[in-house]
Amino acid sequence: MEELKFRNADLKDLEKIVEIYNSTIPSRMVTADTENVSVESRKEWFEEHNPETRPLWIIENNDQETIGWVSFSSFYGRPAYNGTVEMSIYMDESCRGKGYGKKVMEHCMIMAPGLGIKTLLGFIFSHNEASLKLFRHFGFEEWGMFPDVAVLDGIARSLTILGKRVG
């Protein structure tokens, strides 16, 4: 498997970030959005990230093509939770199920302590077995489950929260 490169996202990357994100919506496995989002609607979210504490990394292959992105987002928005982030990983359709997720997880777990992050969280639909398996592979444990809190295409779906201390 090729090496992955991680770099901080620039505003010019937002279009590709949104394209990859929107490609996950039809599966009803990854996001609670049910319709495509616009680049404009994601600008505020983009601006909430910064390289020092809340990175948004572009994932590139050896040809410097964007094949995914990963973000650390603040949890609950209160100062006492500054050491805790929600981690989100999104891969291009052509790169899913090929083991890249493990490389992304390794990078995130290595980098988190240097960013002042002590706890990583994953908010994952309970029917998304692939993502649950990925996080559990790295020692994440179930810290919570919200039964039937989302409705996707008329089907109630539960949300599992997985967590791991890294710092």
What CATH number does the domain containing 78 carry? 3.40.630.30
Q: Do the domain assignments include residue 76?
A: yes
Residues 33-50: pLDDT tens digits?
A: 788 889 999 999 999 999
Kindly state the percentage of the chain with pLDDT values over 90: 83
For 111, the domain range is 5-123
Residue 86 pLDDT: 97
Residue 164 pLDDT: 98
Q: Do the domain assignments include residue 132?
A: no
Q: Do the domain assignments include residue 138?
A: no
SS3 62: coil
Residue 31 pLDDT: 86
Residues 70-119: pLDDT tens digits?
A: 999 999 989 999 999 999 999 998 888 889 999 999 999 999 999 999 99
Closest by alpha carbon to 5, among 61, 54, 65? 61
Residue 120 pLDDT: 98
Q: Do the domain assignments include residue 145?
A: no
Q: How far apart are CA 138 and CA 140, in angstroms?
A: 6
Q: Do the domain assignments include residue 47?
A: yes
Q: Do the domain assignments include residue 18?
A: yes
Q: Do the domain assignments include residue 148?
A: no
Q: How far apart are CA 59 and CA 113, in angstroms?
A: 20
User: Domain total for the chain?
Assistant: 1
Tokens coding 86: 């929600």
Cβ–Cβ under 8 Å, residues 73 and 82: no
